[in-house]
Amino acid sequence: MNDTPLKIDPKHTALLVMDYQAGIIAMLDQPDGLIARVAETIALARRHAVHVGYVRVAFTDADYEAAPAKSRMAAQVRAAGRALHADVAATAIDERVAPAPGEIVVRKIRVGAFSTTDLDAQLREREVDTLILAGISTSGVVLSTVRDGYDRDYELLVLADACADREPGVHQFLTEKIFPRQASVITTEELAATLERG
């Protein structure tokens, strides 16, 4: 999807696996192929010493209580009840793409990966300046993280076939028309070829 040859320095690159949680995956039609691609991409990243990080959305009792009354997101979270509670299985990272010991794992309480986590600090501590994004949904966590990551001066690569949205047309529009303004949009195969090439 990208005509410009890519060069990736694994030491300064992180693959972010965002919102790959049981309850979110369950909202997709036939997600097995997507999960398999992401699992293969995680294995590829680990083989090439690319940092791997995970982002999950989940709320504690204190988070529910602290949410502003006028917040639209807070209203949606409250309507979901315990489905988004940090202690329930639905908010756990899917075991097929589970973190390995020592990998970054952050819990967020907003849409994007950065605003309510210490993800940026953990990435900077590892001298990461390039992010490879995989996430559900394209119009949610991926869009928010592209915009925020761009403002934080990260080089961004979006894996189009490792992201998904309940609205395929929205996914296509974002990956073809919006994301290329701030990120390189590539496939998992292109990433593998780039890393194998060195």
Average pLDDT by stretches of 10, the chain with 198 residues? 75 98 94 98 98 96 87 82 89 97 97 97 98 98 98 98 97 98 98 93
pLDDT of residue 2: 47
Q: Where are the domains positioned within the chain?
A: 10-58+90-197
Rounded to a whole number of angstroms, the CA Rg of the chain reads 16
- 105 CB neighbour count, 10 Å cutoff: 17
CATH of 10-58+90-197, one of 2.60.40.420, 3.90.1150.10, 3.40.50.850, 3.40.50.1820: 3.40.50.850
Q: Identify whether the C-beta of residue 164 lies closer than 8 Å to the C-beta of residue 28.
A: yes
Which residues have C-beta within 8 Å of that of residue 143, sequence separation ≥ 6?
A: 174, 178
Instruction: Name the strands in the sheet holding 104-108, side by side, starting at the edge strand that comes first in the sequence.
Output: 104-108, 51-57, 13-18, 130-135, 155-159, 184-186
- Dihedral (CA of 3, 4, 7, 8) sign: negative
CA distance 140 to 158: 13
- Specify the pLDDT at position 4: 61
Q: What is the pTM of this model?
A: 0.94
CA 123, CA 117: separation in Å to the nearest integer? 11
Cα within 13 Å of Cα(30), Cβ side: 2
